[in-house]
Chain A
Amino acid sequence: MATHSDKFGYYIFTGVLALVALAIFLGFLLLPVIQGAQAGLDTWSAICRSLGIQAGSPAQPTPPVQSAAKPVSEVVWNTAVMRGLNAANKELGAQLAQDICTACHGQTGISPDPQYPHLSGQSAFAIYKQLHDYRSGVRQHDLMSPVAKTLTDEQIIALANHYATLTRGTLDRQLEVEADPRIDHLVRTGDTARGIPGCQSCHGIGAGGPVETPTLSGQYRQYLAAQLSNYAAGRRRNDVFSRMRGIASKLSEEEIRLVSGFYAEQ
């Protein structure tokens, strides 16, 4: 079979481009203008919206915003903060911890009193957020609030990093331990009927959950239970978008007790 030159290819080429031109006319001009008119939008806005250079669904007015911000946490995870947390001043952190923290939280971050949580090996992002929240007042504690208010950003970052590098255990190992069967399912999978995700879906290693997720392994059971109760009752409100309040308020007393005991023993 031989080949010859002819206009066949060019017919297809121009045919396709003609169809594209029709689509452009319909999609960027006719549709937006007619739909816009039905919705009370002017032609220019409708066309800009169809191009994506102006915000707003193509043919409907956008509801106005009439509210003021009341943030539950002032922490912003931007690049500067995240890089800062990875490059903190080690000496400053150790010194500050010695001066300010060890009285309650223990010499090596292992606290002697269940009221005060272990800090050793805790996620730096978690510690950063809590200190920041204590300082800004969205989280309240008789002892922590005044302490946090004296700290600068640099000091908070140094402290967070200091405790993160102490060893107690790593951030929640993927639990391979045979657990209390009542709790094992809740921890690993959650409860779909109540809309509760498994604890491991955020608190597990490699879970890919929120940046500020704390490690729970080896923490005092009384402290964990107290936090869950505080979330459930709304006494603690610094979890962004109610992530923990929503979960804790759905747990029974028994489940709070068992889950806290479970993580305390990890």
Chain B
Amino acid sequence: MRSLERLTLAHLWTGFVAFAIACLLGVWQMWVRSPLTAPLSTPDRYYQSVTAHGVSMAYLLTTFFVMGFGYYVAETSLARPLPGKRWAWIAYGLGLTGGLIAAIPILLNQATVLYTFYPPLTGSALFYLGLVLVVVASWIWCAQMLVAMAQWKRSHPGQAVPLAMFGTTANAVMWLWTTVGVAVEVLFLILPAAVGLTETIDVGLSRTLFSWTLHAIVYFWLIPAYIAFYTMAPEEAGGRLYSDTMGRLTFVLFLVYSLPVGMHHLFMDPEHSTGFKFLQMTLTVLVAVPTFLTVFTISASMEIAGRLRGGKGLFGWIATLPWERPMVLATGLAFFMLWFGGGGGLINMSFGMNAMVHNTSWVTAHFHLIFGGTVVIMYFAIAYTIWPKLTGWQSPNISLQRLQIWLWAIGMMVMTLPWHYLGLQGQWRRVATFDYSNPLITPWGKWVVVSLIGGVILLISAALFIYNLVAMHRQPARKASSLQRYAQSLHTPASIPASLNGFRLWNVLVLVLMILAYGYPIAQFFLNPAPAAVVHRVD
């Protein structure tokens, strides 16, 4: 196996193992919350599990997947060896070490602060340090993506960077911007408190810096799925990408709009005024645009594939698509879940309606559906598509892959639809024990159990996913070609605007938007500091 394959597999396996453990914890958590009696159901165990589940899913699965897939795209789409592979391995080691270091205090119940770690609750310094190492590893990855793209452009002057790499590098640029918020929060506010240098902490500033990262990070997770939509799904379907230019525009718009919108996580907070909340809400409304564009472009791309296979009439092309291919199936199911998850998002971002859903199960449902559903199902599809190229073995039984994908989509809908409903009933978040004897809460019980069943389906799907991957490492599997082909566009333009081939202009725009949207909201903590709160140590 060549070194790229080992590098990518190492990252993806690490992410998926963290994912599988987190799925198990998730099901147990849902059991504890339900009217059924679960074992070991004390608050400290519950919140310890919530912390581990959140950290694994939000930080470990995602970062390792994005990095591993990014290395793969960089080498295969640019058709040249990844520069600085030694650095990639160093980054992997750093990230893995960081994850393990962070896991220790979580296991010892010394970092039960949840993955959002809202101070003044402060855990062991090792927890934060471990996560810092993971972020530093990802920064090394970012540098490598930028270098790979820059080197390719130098050796292909005036040529357009292949779309898959353009999206990957856009993601890297966005990630560098994104991590500034949490890095400043952890390095300058939380770690000094965690090591005992300070006894108080500015809570408003911490939340604001975290919000900077908190929304953009979901686009960091999401862009690989969109890279698959644009460059892999049309190919797997046997069609063409409807518009390469729209793909580039989509990635650019995500870079621009994902950052100056974090305050919509703080709509209900008292430390910011309506003016800034309104501004960031407007920008959040705009972040729906690249998704709308994608739905159209990818549907059109799929239509090409369907009609090439004989589909007739207005919708006949849908039936003739090769749904037996996991990537195509996953794309269809991802889009289906996107309607619900995206629709929920439109409600969350609305100025007034957010009050109906903030900190209720609606929010939990939303991000499980949109991330756990739409995005992670594409992670599965990407894995199934590139694994044969990484290991050299193709699974003999892709019907198991399809089954796994169906189970995931069904499980996700069964789990999250009741959660949406319960959120509107007022069910609030992060609760270890509900009082089901309260007549208001009693009717929720059956829906919580339905969600739990959805969670169990997801767990089965997760186990099947791991099984399917292992099956591609050994006999009896068929030999596979290692050639990665990316989708061709329908009518390749003779040339594209240079602004859609680089990020200089967009970085300037991001800077301007961040100054307008976050400038005073952060500066106010220094110009007119709020009183600090006493640190509450949990270690």
Contacts and interface: CB of A to CB of B under 8 A. Distances in A.
Nearest to B431: A192
Contact of B273 (A17, A19, A49, A188): A49
A188 B496 contact: no
B279 A206 contact: no
Contact of A2 (B160, B199, B277, B534): B160
Contacts of A10: 499, 505
Interface band, chain A:
35 or more
Interface stretch (B126-134, B329-337, B432-440, B457-465): B432-440
A201 B43 contact: yes
A1 B278 contact: no
Size bracket of the B interface: 35 or more
A188 B159 contact: no
Given A17-B512, A20-B516, A27 B536 contact: no
Interface string B265-289: 0000000111111110011001000
Interface in A1-56: 1-6, 8-10, 12-13, 16-17, 19-20, 22-24, 26-28, 31-32, 49-53
Given A4-B495, A189-B433, A52 B275 contact: yes
A193 B437 contact: yes
Interface string B154-166: 0000111000000
A121 interface: no
A190 B434 CA distance: 12
Contacts, number: 154
Contacts of B347: none
Interface string B177-200: 000000000000000000000111
A5 B159 contact: no
B44 interface: yes
Contacts of B159: 1-3
B244 interface: yes
Given A58-B273, A192-B434, A1 B279 contact: no
B244 A5 contact: no
B3 interface: no
Interface string B477-509: 000000000000000111111111100011011
Given A13-B509, A20-B283, A24-B516, A52 B272 contact: yes
B537 interface: yes
A136 B159 CA distance: 79
B538 A208 contact: yes
B539 interface: yes
Contacts of A78: 200
B21 interface: no
B435 A193 contact: yes
Contacts of B273: 49-53, 58
A258 to B, nearest CB: 18
Contacts of A209: 536
Contacts of A27: 274-279, 282
B109 A9 contact: no
A16 B528 CA distance: 30
Contacts of B158: 2-3
B510 to A, nearest CB: 10
A82 B223 CA distance: 47
A206 B42 contact: no
Interface string A214-256: 0000000000000000000000000000000000000000000
Given A16-B256, A208-B537, 13 more contacts: A1-B492, A3-B160, A3-B498, A8-B499, A9-B506, A16-B513, A19-B286, A26-B278, A27-B274, A27-B278, A28-B275, A51-B520, A209-B536
Interface of A: 1-6, 8-10, 12-13, 16-17, 19-20, 22-24, 26-28, 31-32, 49-53, 58, 77-79, 82-83, 174, 188-190, 192-193, 198, 200-201, 204, 206-209, 211
